[in-house]
Chain A
Amino acid sequence: MSTLLMVSSLLLVIGIYGLLTRNNPILMIISIELIFNGANLNLVHFSRLYNSMDGISLALFSIAIAAIEVALGLGIFLALYKLERKTELRKFRRLSDEEVSA
């Protein structure tokens, strides 16, 4: 049983590592999805461990929200790509005070 806990924590660590190191929006979304999956595994595992359905229900909501989040994130990325023709997210600073350093 502890293997699953280990997998979920390692997935969280891998996801945060990817989120911090990569600039590409698709890879950042993949990292976020890894974090979501780790959290879902933890929820379902503890739900089965304590014979409760709460974790499974929350995991279901989490999967739906993750799918919406991916669709929105990719939509925003494609809209920004159409405007600026840039793919590295850290270069998008239209709302900040700094000048764009492309």
Chain B
Amino acid sequence: MKDILLSLFSSIVLLSAIFSLEEKKLLYSVALFSAFLTLFSVYYFYLGVEFLGVVQLLVYAGGVTVLMLFSLMLAPEVDEKLSIDRRRGLLSLLVLPPIMYWATRLGSRSNFPLLDTKDISRNISDHYVLVLLISLLIVSVIISISSILGGEKEK
């Protein structure tokens, strides 16, 4: 019963993802993408990672969707003539599914080492200090570049 419900839910999530790309109107497309992101956070709750689910809701379903709606508002002509080049997509539909199926089968067979770490923050501070510092550095560089460019524009 649980598997059937999960499959039904997954089909709804995948349909919302597909329709967010296939919809003709961009506003509906962004709305469907927002629905997809909200539904997708249920997977994190299902897997017992409530923190990531909440982050997904706040950052993706909240922040990213609002950014997209603002850019739609600021560039009104963006809604015109959505062209689709289906020949390019044929390659991905024919070649990628078997490769991904093989890759996931291979991944599920391998034995990853088990760790005893229980806390996300402890894990980050133990193993990913360098990644954290590099990401902070990148963010500070981006902010400084944007402020420098904004200052030059005002002059």
Contacts and interface: CB of A to CB of B under 8 A. Distances in A.
Q: Is the interface of A mostly helix, strand, loop or mixed?
A: helix
A9 B97 contact: yes
B115 A52 contact: yes
A44 B14 contact: no
Contact of B67 (A18, A74, A81): A74
Interface residue tally on B, bucketed by range: 35 or more
Contacts of B84: 21-22
B114 A52 contact: yes
B155 interface: no
Nearest to B132: A61
Interface residues of A, number: 66
Contact of A3 (B3, B93, B100, B120): B3
A21 B13 CA distance: 21
A57 B20 contact: no
B92 A20 contact: yes
Interface string A5-40: 111111111101110111111110111011001001
26 contacts: A3-B10, A7-B10, A7-B43, A9-B97, A10-B97, A17-B21, A22-B84, A22-B85, A26-B78, A34-B36, A42-B107, A44-B44, A44-B49, A45-B47, A52-B117, A53-B117, A53-B119, A53-B120, A63-B52, A63-B56, A64-B135, A66-B64, A67-B60, A72-B142, A87-B78, A88-B83
